[in-house]
Structure 1
Amino acid sequence: MSFLTTERDGAILTLTMNQPETRNALTGNTAVDEFVQACEAIRRDTSVRAVIITGTGPVFSSGGNVKDMQRFFGDTLSPEVIREEYRNGIQRIPKALYNLDVPTICAINGPAIGAGLDLTCMCDIRIASENATFAESFVKVGIVPGDGGAWLLPRAVGMSKAAEMAFTGEALNAQQALACGLVSRVVPAEALMAEARTLAAKIAVNPGGVLRMTKRLLREGQNSTLESLLEMSAGYQAIAHKTADHEEAVRAFMEKRAPKFS
C-alpha cells in the first residue's frame, strides 16, 4: 500500500500520509521515496498553487519507526553505513519538501513526534487540530535529530524554545504550540481540513508563478544578506512585471473586477 494518497481539487493538491497502523512513521517504508517523487511532480506541474499535507488516523506522524531502529544494534551495521542511510534516506525529505517552491500548509491532525514534528517545520504554514501534540523527542530514545530538525525547529520557534524542546524531549499541546508560534492557528478536530482547504483556496486564487517566486524569496531571506535578497527581488520583480498575470491584475484593479489569471 502506498504511504501517500493524493487528492486534487483545482489548483490545490492534498498529500495524506496513510499508514495509520504504523502511526504514519517515516522510516521502514516507502515514505521517503514517495515524498521526494511527489515534490518533484508538484515542482514540474505549474498548475499546482497550494499543497496541503496531513495524516490519516489519530496520529499525524510518529516520525522514525522505533521498532526499525533495533536493526542498528550490534556490529552488523557500521557508523559509516548508518550515516549513508540517513543521507540517502530520510534526509531527502527536507531537501525535497522544504525547498519545494509551491506554498505548503501542514494540517496536523494529531501527535507530531520527532521526525513527524520536523516534517511540519518543512511546511510554510501549520494549522493544528486541538488533538495535536508536538515533541522533538529524539533524546528520549537516545539519538539526535537526524533529519534536519536542529536547523528547522529554531527557525519555527526560536533558539531558546527549540533548545528546551530538544533537550527535554517533552511534548507541547496545541495551545502551547500556538503560544510559541509553532502553529498559526488551532481549530476543532472536525474543522481541520475545512480550515486548511479554505486557506489553500485563498492562496491558490493568486498567480502561480508569483506565488512560487514569493516563496523562494522568503526562503532565501532566512539565510542571505539584505543586499543579496534585494538583488534577487529586483530580478524576480522584473520577471513578474512582464507576466500576463500582472497585467491582468492591474487591469482588474483599475476596472474594479476580480482578476482572471492564466
Structure 2
Amino acid sequence: MSDETIKVAIDAASHVATITLNRPDKLNSFTRTMHGELSAALGQIEAAGVRALVLTGAGRGFCAGQDLADLDFTPGAMTDLGDLIDTHFNPLIRRLQALPLPVIAAVNGTAAGAGANLALACDLVVAARSASFIQAFVKIGLVPDSGGTWFLPQRIGMARALGLALTGEKLGAEKAESWGLVWRVVDDAELSATATQLATQLAQQPTRAIAAIKHAMRAGQTHTLSQQLDLERDLQRELGNSHDYAEGVQAFIEKRAPRFEGR
C-alpha cells in the first residue's frame, strides 16, 4: 500500500478533482497525519482552479471515522477529544461546507462515526448499493460529532436522527436514499463512473452560482424568512453582474448551450 494516506487526481480537461482516502486496511479511518494530508489536498485543488470535487475511499469502505489506535488511552494522559475535534474534525467540516464548488461524496461500503458525517458534510452523496451509514458513537459512550447532530435532524427529521444516534444501528444505502439522507444509490460497479459523471456535469455549470446556492440553502436553516429574502436579493444582485449570467442569458436568446466559465 502507498504511504500516502490521501490520493489526489485532477482532470484538467473537465476541471474535476478526486480525493481518495487511502488507508484501506484501516477502513480509511482518520489519523492526525491523514488530517494534515487531506487539508493539503484541499488546498491543492483550490489552487488548481478545480470546479467540482469527488471525495471517496479506497478499498471496501468509505471511512470508519477516527482511528482509535492514533489516540492515547494512558490513565491521566488520555487524548482530549475536544482538542482533537477542535483541531482537526471541525475545521475539516467547515472547510468542506465553505468550498465554493460542488463536493460529491462517493460512498463505497462502510461510512461510520465521523466518516458518516464527513459524507453528509459534502453537498451531494452518491452511495453504492452495498454502502451503509452508522452513527457508532453511542457504542463507545460518545455523542455524534463532525456535524452529525446538525446534519441528521435536518435531513431525516428528529425521530429518525435520534433513532440512529441512540441505537447506533446500521442504515443501509437504499433506506438512506428513501429517507432523504443521500442523493442517489447506484450499483457498486457504477459508483465511480456515476460520481465522476455528476461532478463533470456540475463543473460545467456556473460555479459562482453554485457557491451562492450552497451558501443560501445553508443560511436558510437559521434565518427568518425576511433575512432570507434579503440574502437572496443580495446574491442575485451580485450574480447579475457576473460573466456566467450574461452568457446564460445570451445562450438562452440564441437557443444554444451556454459555455460557463465559473466567473
Relative to the length of structure 1, the TM-score reads 0.91
Secondary structure at the counterpart of residue 212 of structure 2: helix
Task: Give the equivalent residue in structure 1 for 2:65.
Answer: 63
From 11, 24, 30, give the equivalent of 1:20: 24
Task: Give the equivalent residue in structure 2 for 1:140.
Answer: 139
CA positional deviation for 1:245: 1.5
CA positional deviation for 1:170: 0.8
Does structure 1 conserve the Cα–Cα contact (< 8 Å) formed by 2:117 and 2:145? no
Task: Give the equivalent residue in structure 2 for 1:254.
Answer: 253
Does structure 2 conserve the Cα–Cα contact (< 8 Å) formed by 1:32 and 1:92? no
Pairing of 1:1-262 with structure 2 (within 5 A): 1-9=3-11, 10-26=14-30, 28-43=31-46, 47-69=49-71, 71-77=72-78, 81-262=80-261
Q: What amino acid sits opposite 2:99 in the alignment?
A: L
Q: What amino acid sits opposite 2:108 in the alignment?
A: N
Does structure 2 conserve the Cα–Cα contact (< 8 Å) formed by 1:125 and 1:184? yes
Does structure 2 conserve the Cα–Cα contact (< 8 Å) formed by 1:54 and 1:108? yes
Does structure 2 conserve the Cα–Cα contact (< 8 Å) formed by 1:178 and 1:184? yes
Secondary structure at the counterpart of residue 238 of structure 2: helix
Instruction: Name the CA distance, whole Å, in 2 between partners of 1:182 and 1:66.
Output: 27
Q: What amino acid sits opposite 1:30 in the alignment?
A: T
CA positional deviation for 1:53: 0.7
Does structure 2 conserve the Cα–Cα contact (< 8 Å) formed by 1:36 and 1:97? no
Instruction: Name the CA distance, whole Å, in 2 between partners of 1:177 and 1:198.
Output: 22
Q: What amino acid sits opposite 1:34 in the alignment?
A: E
Determine what percentage of the aligned residue pairs are the same residue. Answer: 35
Q: Deviations over 1:173-222 (max 9, x none)?
A: 11111121111221111100111112112211111222211211112122
CA positional deviation for 1:83: 2.3
- In the comparison of the two structures, how many residue pairs are matched? 257
Structure 1 pair 40–224 and aligned structure 2 pair: CA distance change class (3 A): farther
Q: What amino acid sits opposite 1:164 in the alignment?
A: G
Q: What amino acid sits opposite 1:169 in the alignment?
A: G
Secondary structure at the counterpart of residue 98 of structure 1: helix
CA RMSD of aligned residues (A): 1.8
Instruction: Name the CA distance, whole Å, in 1 between partners of 2:52 and 2:229.
Output: 25
Instruction: Name the CA distance, whole Å, in 2 between partners of 1:134 and 1:56.
Output: 17
Secondary structure at the counterpart of residue 61 of structure 2: coil
CA positional deviation for 1:139: 0.7
Instruction: Name the CA distance, whole Å, in 1 between partners of 2:85 and 2:78.
Output: 13
Secondary structure at the counterpart of residue 5 of structure 1: strand
Q: What amino acid sits opposite 2:116 in the alignment?
A: L
Structure 1 pair 146–251 and aligned structure 2 pair: CA distance change class (3 A): closer
Query: Tell me, which stretches of 5 or more residues in structure 1 are unaligned?
Result: none
Does structure 2 conserve the Cα–Cα contact (< 8 Å) formed by 1:39 and 1:100? no
Does structure 2 conserve the Cα–Cα contact (< 8 Å) formed by 1:107 and 1:126? yes
Q: What amino acid sits opposite 2:33 in the alignment?
A: T
Instruction: Name the CA distance, whole Å, in 2 between partners of 1:151 and 1:224.
Output: 15
Instruction: Name the CA distance, whole Å, in 2 between partners of 1:35 and 1:205.
Output: 25
Secondary structure at the counterpart of residue 153 of structure 1: helix
Structure 1 pair 167–125 and aligned structure 2 pair: CA distance change class (3 A): same
Q: What amino acid sits opposite 1:38 in the alignment?
A: A
Structure 1 pair 211–189 and aligned structure 2 pair: CA distance change class (3 A): same
